Structure 1
Amino acid sequence: MSLARGAPATSLAARLRASLAHVRQRTRPYEQLARIDKPAGTYLLYLPCTWSILMAASSTAIPASPVLTAKMLALFGTGAFIMRGAGCTINDLWDRDFDRQVERTKDRPLASGAVSVPQAVAFLAVQCSAGLAVLTQLNWTSIGLGASSLAFVVSYPLMKRITYYPQLVLGLTFNWGALLGFTAMTNTLPLDQALPLYGGGIAWTLVYDTLYAHQDKRDDIQVGVKSTALAFADRTKPILTGLALTSGGLFAMSGAAAGLGVPYAMGVTAATANMLYLTWTANLDDPASCGRAFRLSSWGGVFLGMGLSIEYARRLSEEQTKRQQEPPAVPVAATERAGDGEPDAVPNPRTP
């Protein structure tokens, strides 16, 4: 009897597992197309957003509320996840013929045929629609600024064909959030803070993506793909050292303009040290070593974000202390009589 009762349940569970496996098999290529299984790029896109949000929250006369700051961090995190995936889809649509000839990328869904071009275009439409839904949660200034970044998103894959510096265009694209966070928080763009922060992010991107490009330099030469790895060649480490120091200097300029203190300075120092360490410890002729350096590069951005987070927490604490120390409101000595608008007489303490 128990076996008879258990059989339908077992059959149902088996059918459910089979259905889930089928769905997983169908969605897996799209997960790979959006690089969901490789989140490093999402972190690198999101981190500049956190910098500008936290800097804007910290540098106003009264620190931004934690609720607003958390809301913006969540919105930008969602947007970074979606738009990084959309950027990968665009990249693979442009590069599918190149990817088939490169060992590291030949199994990507478009290159291998697991996803067709029409299917990828339809998937891209869904991604962009989702990204637009996030963008429209911001103010109009931010919507316009965010939409203007699409030119860089679409053109970046083409740059590999026409210039040895596509990493510069990637830097312009991936660090757009360093501008957008300011407008989202304050509806203004303080150029003395935003531009050095943006420039520091671009230099940071040139460091980590040049290390990334060294993975494929042999295949890139054969298929005609250009990169800073090929442009810098044997001079890569000295040039990246200069870029790391430039990045740190620009980050420091931005913090000085915002009036930030020691916690932020420590974050800048740690971020710069991370770039220098990865540059000089990476074996540029070993793809595995270059890939490891790229994946660890996000820690530089995390260190900068930690400095800003501590700075923001300090500003909030100072503001709370200031409010607690403010004297209580002075009571009104006289009140108006109801109906005639004249003040009541104030009792004379000497009168018996």
Structure 2
Amino acid sequence: MTWDPGGARGGKGKLYLIMRFLRMEQTLFSLPMAYLGAFIAIRRVPSIYILVLIFSALFFLRIAGMTNDNLADRFIDSKNPRTRSRPLVTGAISVTEARILIIIGLLGFFISAYLVNIWAFILSPIVALIVMTYPYMKRFTALANYHLASIQGLAIFSGAVAAAGVYYNSLLRVLEAVPWYFVIATIFWAVGFDLYNHIPDMEFDKQMGLHSFAVVLGNSALQFAGINQLLSVTIDFVADFSYGLGFLSYISTIAHGLIMAYAYYLATRSKFGSAFYYNIYSSIVLGLGIDIDIIMGIPKL
């Protein structure tokens, strides 16, 4: 297994190396979900100002979180044949540069949260703490898969807080505006595709004493991933109904599920790289479909 989303070949420019190091394309996992949370929270299109700041916060938190992940795992990655081409392992990006990126990322995230609204700023340390502690969880528990998945769920939560915080003076009202069913559904969805990363490394993780449900469940890990994603789609339908969304949201949820099902099929054929990236498409389909549904004011079913 040679696929690695964070690997980078030599002979490329510094910008390319940094982009591969940060896996910036994976921000596409989070951005549609963050906007989904914002649109549902206020049932209208947030201001351009808020939409830009949501993107900014995600962008900078991605820089901090992914850099911290690479920094924490650099010695482990150097021993794994699949991850030996990562820039921090090869020395293409130095430890000092990585630490500077973390500082830039966290500062950018906290400034973005401050500019959004007071509630986003108050809650931002909690969000950052969850993101920055993830790489250490797999040293202790297989629940690290759910920890990573909760970061994807936080995208919806954060988008909702960013939008609703403009309208409500009460933190309780802001939290009530969060579409929690979609947050929960996203967590189960993310557990599934996170296991596409861990299953190829199952034997290596055992040798290194690392924990994941791939290690715990062995050959049953892929079925566990599928169960999580099936549960995710089921909760998405509950969310469509509970939040009074229109037919386009249901269609998007169906498409979201079908793409996940195809990704699962690819994983059963050991095409884990393709399976992982198909989840980008599934999140875009779900997020855009629901956003358009709300923009058009489509009546609920």
Larger Rg: 1
In the alignment, structure 1 residue 102 sits paired with structure 2 residue 80: yes
Which SS does the other structure have where 1:105 is aligned?
coil
Shift of 1:163: 1.1
* Letter paired with 1:273: L
Name the structure 2 match of 1:33: 21
In the alignment, structure 1 residue 226 sits paired with structure 2 residue 211: yes
Q: Distance in 1 between matches of 2:153 and 2:129?
A: 14
Name the structure 1 match of 2:289: 307
Shift of 1:192: 7.7
Q: Distance in 2 between matches of 1:110 and 1:246?
A: 36
Count the aligned residue pairs: 281
Q: 2:182 aligns with which of 197, 201, 205?
A: 197
Q: Distance in 2 between matches of 1:113 and 1:307?
A: 42
Q: Distance in 1 between matches of 2:23 and 2:291?
A: 28
Shift of 1:51: 1.4
Note the residue ranges of structure 1 that are not aligned, 5 or more in a row.
Answer: 1-23, 59-63, 319-352
In the alignment, structure 1 residue 242 sits paired with structure 2 residue 227: yes
Q: Is the 8 A contact 2:35 2:51 kept in 1?
A: yes
Higher relative contact order (CA 8 A, sep 6+): 2
Q: Distance in 1 between matches of 2:286 and 2:119?
A: 26
- How far does the alpha carbon of each residue in 1:50-101 deviate from its partner, in whole angstroms, 9 at most, with x for none? 210121242xxxxx3x4x3444333222322222121111001111110101
Q: Distance in 1 between matches of 2:57 and 2:162?
A: 13
Q: Distance in 2 between matches of 1:128 and 1:34?
A: 14
Q: Which of structure 1's runs of 4+ aligned residues deviate more than 6 A? A: none
Q: Distance in 1 between matches of 2:151 and 2:92?
A: 28
CA 1:259 to 1:145, structure 2 compared with 1: closer, same or farther past 3 Å?
A: same
Q: Distance in 1 between matches of 2:14 and 2:63?
A: 17
Q: Distance in 2 between matches of 1:76 and 1:158?
A: 27
CA 1:185 to 1:277, structure 2 compared with 1: closer, same or farther past 3 Å?
A: same
Note the residue ranges of structure 2 that are not aligned, 5 or more in a row.
Answer: 1-11, 166-172
Q: Distance in 2 between matches of 1:303 and 1:225?
A: 34
Q: Distance in 1 between matches of 2:194 and 2:124?
A: 23
Write the mapping of 1:155-194 to structure 2, written as runs, cut at 5 A.
155-187=133-165, 188-189=173-174, 191=176, 194=179
TM-score of the aligned structures, taking structure 1 as reference length: 0.73
Shift of 1:193: 5.6
Q: Distance in 2 between matches of 1:52 and 1:130?
A: 21
* Letter paired with 1:177: A
> What's the RMSD between the two structures over aligned residues?
2.3
- How far does the alpha carbon of each residue in 1:218-237 deviate from its partner, in whole angstroms, 9 at most, with x for none? 33233332222222322234
In the alignment, structure 1 residue 252 sits paired with structure 2 residue 237: yes
Q: 2:248 aligns with which of 231, 243, 263?
A: 263
Q: Distance in 1 between matches of 2:254 and 2:14?
A: 46
Q: Is the 8 A contact 1:176 1:198 kept in 2?
A: yes
Q: Distance in 2 between matches of 1:238 and 1:216?
A: 16
* Letter paired with 2:144: P
- How far does the alpha carbon of each residue in 1:256-293 deviate from its partner, in whole angstroms, 9 at most, with x for none? 23211211111112212222221133236x3xx10110
Q: Distance in 2 between matches of 1:27 and 1:301?
A: 26
